[in-house]
Amino acid sequence: AQSVTQLGSHVSVSEGALVLLRCNYSSSVPPYLFWYVQYPNQGLQLLLKYTTGATLVKGINGFEAEFKKSETSFHLTKPSAHMSDAAEYFCAVTNMEYGNKLVFGAGTILRVKS
Amino acid sequence: DGGITQSPKYLFRKEGQNVTLSCEQNLNHDAMYWYRQDPGQGLRLIYYSQIVNDFQKGDIAEGYSVSREKKESFPLTVTSAQKNPTAFYLCASSSGASGNSYEQYFGPGTRLTVT
């Protein structure tokens, strides 16, 4: 079975500070991993994804994530937070056996303080 | 302009009434999905369809029904049997088995309130 754990339902950072959102996954076979962002009352937008190849993945809006198999982690980072980054972020996992169904974490709400 | 549309954005219904949420995509995707979102619970899969005229139950299908008569459309009916229907409903699509990519693309959502 697959599962995703996002540590911290709420994260608060100052504008210009490092953003680190944590995601740990469980998958019996090599995973495909995703980060999505959701602004209030909107749908989800794909930030970045890992399928195969390079373990450091760059996405939109300056975000990146690193797949660490030994730690079963896929943490999302951004060097310098901007006010517009305030949103809810979801980590998701699937694999070849699970087909196209994604399993989502519970989400982390990011607050950016001025 | 390709994408997924959901209508309406906000929907209000009285308890005991069935209601149908619309989802249309023009991405030529084979697979479509319905999720329910409640605060602090992430997204939970209601139903999904990998091909026209076929669909499968997700994790929380009770009280919901779907149809997939056309590739671009995947309507969701919330029936009176759903005990707590008030939620934000999201539709998504992906290239499915015909593609090598597993990411899903989401519509803007419908917020359903039942009183």
How does pLDDT run across B31-54, given as a tens digit for each residue? 999 999 998 788 999 999 999 999
Per residue in A70-103, pLDDT (tens digit) is: 999 999 999 999 999 999 999 999 987 777 789 9
Contact A100 B90 (CB under 8 A): no
3-state secondary structure of A60: helix
Per residue in B81-93, pLDDT (tens digit) is: 899 999 999 999 9
pLDDT-derived band of residue A111, with 50, 70 and 90 as boundaries?
Answer: very high
User: Which residues on chain A are in Cβ contact (under 8 Å) with B40?
Assistant: 9, 106-107
User: Which residues on chain B are in Cβ contact (under 8 Å) with A45?
Assistant: 106
Average pLDDT along chain A = 94
pLDDT at B102: 82
Contact A101 B105 (CB under 8 A): no
Q: Which residue has the tokens 């809810």?
A: A88
CB-based contact B22:B9 (threshold 8 Å) = no
The dihedral of CA A102, A108, A109, A112: what is its sign?
negative
Closest-CA distance of chain A to residue B108, Å: 4
Closest-CA distance of chain B to residue A103, Å: 8
pLDDT at A52: 86
pLDDT at B98: 60
pLDDT at A100: 74
pLDDT-derived band of residue B77, with 50, 70 and 90 as boundaries?
Answer: very high
Contact A102 B105 (CB under 8 A): no
Per residue in B49-70, pLDDT (tens digit) is: 999 999 999 999 999 999 999 9
- Give φ, ψ of A84 to 5 degrees: -70, -10
Torsion of CA A46, B34, A90, A56, to 10 degrees: -40
pLDDT at residue B25 is higher than 70: yes
Per residue in A18-60, pLDDT (tens digit) is: 999 999 999 888 899 999 999 998 999 999 999 888 999 999 9
Q: Of A108-112, B30-34, B101-105, where does mean pLDDT reach its minimum?
A: B101-105
Contact B94 A100 (CB under 8 A): yes
Which candidate from A34, A45, A90 shows the least CB-CB separation from B42? A90
CA atoms within 13 A on the CB side of A94: 18
